[in-house]
Structure 1
Amino acid sequence: MGAEGYVREVYDASYVRLVVQLLALTGDLADAEDAVQEAFVKALGQGARFARLDNPEAWLRTVALNHVRNRWRHLDVVRRFQAKVPGPMAAHEIGPEPVAVVQALGTLDLAHRTVAVLFYLADRSVADIASELGVPIGTVKTRLARSRQLLAPLLSVPEEADHV
């Protein structure tokens, strides 16, 4: 049986039990299910290492508990600093141009979209993007060139026929 099959077997045997345990801790079914799902996602990422664990359910419980603790820590920070964060700005009408750009960017795969957004919308240099993403500068340049090529037909304004 492969690693995914083993994770599925552990899932079938442990999921409900783990959710009940996390529900008792969190008091919220959605939070409990989310934490257990996160744990199983991490188990899938472990591959064969997960299958070699002596007690996979204990490992999953620990991962789920850590997920809950991290969420609580995050919420605690948000609560402490929320009053210091300015409220939302008044709603602004978004014109058709930004909407078209966002729709066009949505057609790109994540790697090309990320580079295009960082370069054109976040005003980052090629070197900064390369450093931030941990890729060579040449990769950033190639992705930008390909992004321009893919976006050009989606963002070009059709020429209107001359009316005589």
Structure 2
Amino acid sequence: MAGDDAFEDFYLGSRHRVVTFLYAMGGDRAEAQDAAQEAYLRAWQRWSTVSGYDDPEAWVRTVGYRLCVNRWRKARNRMVAYRRHGPAEPARPPNEDTVALVEALRRLPEPERLAIALHHLLDLPVAEVAAQTGVPVNTVKSRLVRGRRTLASLLDRDLPGEYSHA
């Protein structure tokens, strides 16, 4: 318990200086507070060692500063990659068929929609769909048949191998 009290005294006596230093170095108060918090956490985890240093505050300052530098380096690398590759092309709007299919899928009962999505969109075998949904294989097969028929009628299309009765 004495170690906890010593750390608390250390923390209360040095936190303002450490955050001020990190803020002055990086110019971002929130970033300075985050780095200081992480540095103090690391000091607390190693308090039996850090407390024996000539200047534990210098250790915390150094750790906090290195954390900030690593964050700056990562941000810089993201910017370099962004400049190199440019912005991502905007996503094209979905075509009419996609919009119609999504609307039709929304109208299916959830168990049929789930079976259709797992089997046809993720290419899972029927047995795997059954395992993931916790139902027998024949139930999955029935849901797939009903779901495909409903989709065909909603999309006003014939299923392969079936003929229109018109």
Normalized against structure 2, the TM-score is what? 0.51
Please give the residue correspondences for 1:62-77 in structure 2 after superposition, counting only pairs within 5 Å.
62-77=62-77
User: 1:38 & 1:85 partners in 2: Cα distance?
Assistant: 33
Partner of 1:32: 32
Pairwise CA distance, 1:3: 3.6
Whether the 8 Å CA contact 1:3–1:44 is kept in 2: the answer is no
Partner of 1:42: 42
Whether the 8 Å CA contact 1:38–1:64 is kept in 2: the answer is yes
* Match runs of 1:50-65 below 5 Å: 50-65=50-65
Please list every run of at least 4 consecutive aligned residues from structure 1 whose deviation after the TM superposition is greater than 4 angstroms. 88-93
1:36/1:64 contact within 8 Å kept: yes
CA distance in 1, matches of 2:89, 2:42: 35
Letter in 1 for 2:16: V
Is residue 3–residue 50 contact of structure 1 (8 Å, CA) maintained in 2?
Answer: no
Question: Between Structure 1 and Structure 2, how many residues are aligned?
Answer: 104
Radius of gyration: which is bigger? 2
5 Å-filtered alignment, 1:83-102, equals: 83=83, 84=85, 87=88
TM-align CA RMSD: 3.3
SS of the residue aligned with 1:38?
A: helix
Q: List alignment gaps of at least 5 residues for structure 1.
A: 98-151
CA apart distance, 1:37 = 0.5
Give TM-score scaled by structure 1 length. Answer: 0.52
One-letter identity of the residue aligned with 1:55: D
Q: CA deviation at 1:2?
A: 4.2
Unaligned runs of 5+ in 2: 95-101, 112-130, 140-166
1:7 shift after superposition: 2.3
